Amino acid sequence: MKANITIILVPVISGILAVLVVLFLFNLLVYGGDIFKSPDNGFLTLFVPITTLFALAVQYLLTIPFWKKFKMRTKVWGLNLIQFTGLLSIISGAIFGLVFWERNFGLKELILVTPTGIVAFAIYWTVNLLILKRLDKQ
């Protein structure tokens, strides 16, 4: 039971923290760290906890079963782990772009938000799967 909780919690928390660090550094470098000066519009207080709960559910229901399949075989659906992670990041980032696209700002907003989502999900999934791999070795 302790092992199951560990393979669910540790990769998710590590992945989310990695994405938050990158977003904070990006905000600090590009916008001068205004996230710390202005209200965060509920990002830190509402979005991050909801995202964490959703990520825990995805980890339990989808990631762990797929991880077990990758451990048994080197390919799932004809993809190796790196290809699968890349495809997952692109699909997740595209969905992120569509969900957070503010249509009144036009198509340019979608073009800017989607790569941000792809990079964030690539960081999240890379950290998540690397932690899972390390936990499996122990």
- Please enumerate in sequence order all residues whose Cβ is within 8 A of that of 96, keeping only pairs 6 or more positions apart, or say none: 113, 114, 116, 117, 118, 120, 121
How far apart (Å, rounded) are the C-alpha atoms in residues 57 and 60? 5
Higher per-residue confidence, 76 vs 42: 76
81-113 per-position pLDDT tens digit = 788 788 888 988 888 888 877 777 778 777 888
Boundaries of every domain in the chain: 2-137
Residue 6: which residues within 8 A CB-CB, separation 6 or more?
135
pLDDT in tens, 12-68: 999 989 988 887 887 777 666 666 565 555 566 677 788 888 888 888 888 888 888
